[in-house]
Amino acid sequence: MATTVHEQPKLKPSREPGKWQPDLGGGGRIPVPADGPMRSLKDFSEPPASTAMWVLIAAIVMSFAAFTSALVVRQGGAPDWRHLTLPPILFLNTVVILLSSVSLEITRRQIGIRMSARSVRSGKPALWLGATAFLGSLFIAGQYAAWLQLRAQGLYMSTSPNSSFFYLFTVLHALHVLGGMIGLLYVGVKLERMTLRRSTLTAMCRYWHFIGILWLYLLYILWARI
C-alpha cells in the first residue's frame, strides 16, 4: 500500500521577525489553540441602534433614489410635463425643519451633560425636545398649507405628472417626519423615566438630521425638475 504523505500545516511569518504563528484562515484546518490569539477580540462594538439607524437610512435613501429615477424616466420623452411654481411656503418650512435640527442638537448636548453626571439639573432638555417636536409639527402644518395652495390652483394628484410627483414626494417625506416625531415622543418618555440610552438618543438625532437633509434634497429636485 502506498504511503500517503500529509502536508504539515502551513506557517506564515508574523510581523515580528523571528516569531512564527499558524495561518488562521477561516474554516481552515489549523485549529486555534484554546489559549492562542483571539483574533479581532475587542470589548466594544457599535450599539445595535446605531447600526440599525444607518441601515434604515440606507433603505430610505434607496427608496427615494428609486422615486427620483422614476421622476427622471417619467419626465424624459413625456409630452404632458408642465412645470408648476412651487408654493413659497416651502422655503419657510425649510427654515423650520433646519431650526428643529438645531434645537435637537441643543437637546442632545443638555442630555449629554446630564448623563455625564456633571450636573443632573443642568439645562432643560425636555423643553428643547418639546421645541423640536413643535417645529416638526409646524413643518407638517406648513406642508399641509402648501398642499392647500396647490389645491386652490386646481392642481390635484392626478392633474399632471408634475403635481403627482409633488404630492408623492412631499407626502412621503411628511410621513417620515411623522415617524421621527413618534421617535421624539419615545425619547421624551425614556428621558422622563431616566432610562434613555445614549445610543438611542444618537440614533434619533441621526434620523432627524437625515430627514432634514432629505428635505433639502427633495426641495432641490422639486425646484429643478417640477
Partner 1 sequence: MHDVHAPAAHHGPPTTFISKHVFSLDHKVIGKQYYAMALVAAFIGMFLSWAMRIHLAWTNAAIPGLQILSPNGAPGGVMTPEYYLQILTMHGTMMVFFVLTTAPFAAFGNYFLPIQVGAEDMPFPHFNMMSFWVTFVAFLTLCAAFFVPQGPPLSGWTAYAPLSAIGPVAGPGEGTGQILWAASIGLFCIGQLLGSLNFISTTLDLRAKGMSLMRLPLSAWAWFITSCIGLTAFAVLLPGCILLILDHVAGTSFFIPGGLVLNDQLQSAHSGGSTLLWQHLFWFFGHPEVYIAIVPAMGIVSHVLITNMRRPMLSHRALLYSMIAIGFLSYVVYGHHMFVSGMNPFSALVFSFPTLVITIPATIITLIWLGSLYGSQLRINSASLFALGFVSMFISGGISGFFLAQPSLDILLHATYFVVGHFHLVMGVAAMFGIYAGTYFWFPKMFGRMMNETWGKVHFWMSFVGAYCIFMPFHYLGIAANVRRYSAFVDDYLQPLIPVHKFITIAALFTGFAQMIFLFNFLHSLWFGEKASDNPWEGTSLEWSTKTPVPWNNFDTIPVVYHDPYQYGVESSTGDYVMQASPEQVKTLHDEA
The answer to whether 8 contacts partner 1 (rule: CB under 8 A) is yes
The answer to the question of residue 149 lying near partner 1 (CB under 8 A) is no
Site string for partner 1, 88-117 (x = CB under 8 A): ------------------------------
Q: Which is nearer to partner 1, 74 or 209 (CB)?
A: 74
DSSP letter assigned to residue 13:
E
Of the chain, the end-to-end C-alpha distance in Å amounts to 82
Determine contact, residues 197/49, Cβ cutoff 8 Å. Answer: yes
Please name the helix (run of DSSP H) or strand (run of DSSP E) that holds residue 21, with its range, or none.
strand 20-22
45, 61, 70, 108, 203 from 65: Cα distances, Å: 30, 6, 8, 30, 22
Using the rule CB under 8 A, which residue among 99, 168, 176, 206 binds partner 1?
Answer: 168
Least distance CB 175 / partner 1 (angstroms): 11
C-alpha 218/C-alpha 97 separation (Å) is: 13
CA atoms within 13 A on the CB side of 137: 9
What x-and-dash track marks residues 32-71 binding partner 1 by CB under 8 A?
xxxx--xxxxxxxxxxxx-xx--xx-xxx-xx-xxx-xx-
Q: Which three cell numbers stand for residue 49?
A: 441602534
Shortest approach of partner 1 to residue 179 CB, angstroms?
12
Q: What is the footprint of partner 1 within residues 189-208 (CB under 8 A)? A: 197-199
Please, are residues 192 and 126 in contact by the beta-carbon 8 Å criterion?
yes
Taking the complex as a whole, the smallest distance from the CB of residue 199 to partner 1 amounts, in Å, to: 6
Q: Which residues bind partner 1 (CB under 8 A)?
A: 4-9, 24-35, 38-49, 51-52, 55-56, 58-60, 62-63, 65-67, 69-70, 73-74, 77-81, 157-158, 161, 164, 168, 172, 197-199
